């Protein structure tokens, strides 16, 4: 690897505008070399605004660009496996958006390719690198709540305007493209961060339903799961709630107290023990993937470790699949 990691983006759409794209040229020892989008005019526009030297309308051209060191796959999930495996075969490491793929079997194919071509594979479960969740992990690891026993979580959100109009439906509620509905797109973050905080989920099951009927994919999921440590968990995700019932919370209860936080809202972390309640504030960063991107750059240059790998990403997909089934 060179002294400066040169990134190439396949699929420079909306997620790349603020969440991830700027991170590639704002991180230390990192730059954005090339971008790709099927619409060449949009690819050119993105390249000009974000300082990429080259743009493409064909993914193979970017993957085979000799001045691209690592490929970021930011397309919808149905193409993650195909594009990631192509990049791995080209002997380039890959950073792939979440969920890792539309099925656990596709995740395993990606892992096999990474092993076969001796390349690193990272997944965009970027909460693992954020100060907010690192503070929660620190509190749990130092025993602030004792031994974790029970996990409870809930996420309720009203339907989007686009959900109610078939002509405006996005790929995120198309099971053929996304693997499922908003559960696959959003709840994957909750499942992944819980395993980052508490260890592997070894058993999971669930019930899915469609209570609003705005689209074919599930809009409600209820799940129960068991951690390797023995802690048990339950969660409900609803993407068709009323405006007054919006929720985003996770509570981990141990034998000495509890800790409450959120997946998306970055609400104050609340630690409750016998000595009282303490709160901790960690605001949402401007570019939410920047810390994760920096960890990847550091690992590729031999000075750090990225906490979100193909192995951890695949495990999240396996748990989601067990719940979904």
CA-based angle 233:102:192, to the nearest 5? 30
Mean pLDDT of the chain: 97
Question: What does the alpha-carbon distance between residue 80 and residue 271 come to, in Å, rounded to a whole number?
Answer: 38
**Contact (CB, 8 A) for 8 and 86:** no
Question: Phi first, then psi: what are they for 113, rounded to 5°?
Answer: -65, -40
Strand, coil or helix: 117: coil
What's the pLDDT at 3?
A: 79
pLDDT 10s digits, 33-47: 999 999 999 999 999
Band (pLDDT 50/70/90 cuts) for residue 325 is confident
Domain range list for the chain: 5-127+288-309, 131-283
What's the pLDDT at 180?
A: 93
What's the pLDDT at 185?
A: 95
pLDDT, mean of residues 279-287:
95
pLDDT, mean of residues 2-7:
89
Measuring CA to CA, which residue among 95, 73, 21 is closest to residue 308? 95
pLDDT 10s digits, 220-262: 999 999 999 999 999 999 999 999 999 999 999 999 999 999 9
- 5-127+288-309: what CATH class? alpha beta
Q: Which two tokens stand for residue 215?
A: 């689209």
pLDDT, mean of residues 92-119:
98
pLDDT 10s digits, 133-165: 999 999 999 999 999 999 999 999 999 999 999
Residue 2 has pLDDT above 70, yes or no: no
What's the pLDDT at 1?
A: 59
pLDDT 10s digits, 54-81: 999 999 999 999 999 999 999 999 999 9
Question: What does the alpha-carbon distance between residue 275 and residue 269 come to, in Å, rounded to a whole number?
Answer: 16
**Contact (CB, 8 A) for 256 and 273:** yes
* Burial state string for 132-145 with b = 16 or more CB within 10 A and e = fewer than 16: bbbbbeebbeeebb
Residue 285 has pLDDT above 70, yes or no: yes
Q: Does the CA dihedral 85-290-246-204 come out positive or negative? A: positive
pLDDT, mean of residues 24-37:
98
Residue 307 has pLDDT above 90, yes or no: yes
Q: Does the CA dihedral 317-319-324-325 come out positive or negative? A: positive
Fold of 131-283: Dihydrodipicolinate Reductase; domain 2 (3.30.360)
């Amino acid at each position: 690897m060179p002294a400066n990691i040169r990134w190439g983006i396949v699929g420079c759409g909306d997620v790349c505008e603020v969440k991830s794209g700027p991170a590639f040229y704002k991180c230390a020892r990192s730059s954005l070399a090339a971008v790709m989008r099927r619409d060449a005019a949009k690819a050119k526009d993105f390249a000009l605004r974000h300082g990429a030297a080259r743009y493409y309308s064909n993914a193979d051209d970017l993957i085979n660009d000799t001045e691209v060191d690592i490929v970021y796959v930011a397309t919808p999930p149905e193409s993650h496996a195909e594009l990631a495996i192509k990049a791995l075969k080209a002997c380039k490491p890959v950073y792939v958006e979440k969920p890792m793929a539309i099925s656990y079997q596709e995740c395993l194919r990606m892992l096999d390719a990474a092993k076969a071509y001796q390349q690193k594979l990272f997944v965009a479960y970027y909460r693992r690198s954020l100060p907010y969740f690192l503070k929660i992990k620190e509190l749990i690891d130092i025993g602030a709540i004792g031994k974790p026993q029970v996990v409870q979580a809930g996420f309720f959100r009203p339907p989007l305007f686009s959900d109610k109009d078939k002509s405006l439906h996005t790929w995120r509620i198309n099971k053929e493209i996304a693997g499922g509905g908003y559960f696959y797109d959003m709840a994957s973050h909750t499942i992944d961060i819980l395993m980052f905080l508490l260890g592997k989920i070894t058993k999971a099951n669930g019930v899915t339903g469609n209570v609003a009927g705005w689209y074919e994919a599930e809009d409600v999921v209820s799940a129960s799961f068991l951690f390797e440590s023995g802690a048990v968990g339950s969660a409900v995700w609803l993407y068709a709630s009323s405006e007054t019932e919006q929720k985003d919370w996770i509570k981990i209860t141990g034998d000495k107290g509890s800790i409450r936080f959120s997946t998306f809202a970055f609400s104050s972390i609340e630690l409750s023990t016998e000595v009282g309640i303490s709160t901790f504030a960690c605001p949402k960063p401007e570019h939410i993937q920047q810390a994760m991107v920096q960890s990847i750059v550091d690992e590729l240059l031999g000075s750090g470790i990225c906490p979100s790998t193909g192995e951890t990403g695949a495990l999240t997909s396996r748990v989601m699949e067990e719940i979904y089934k």
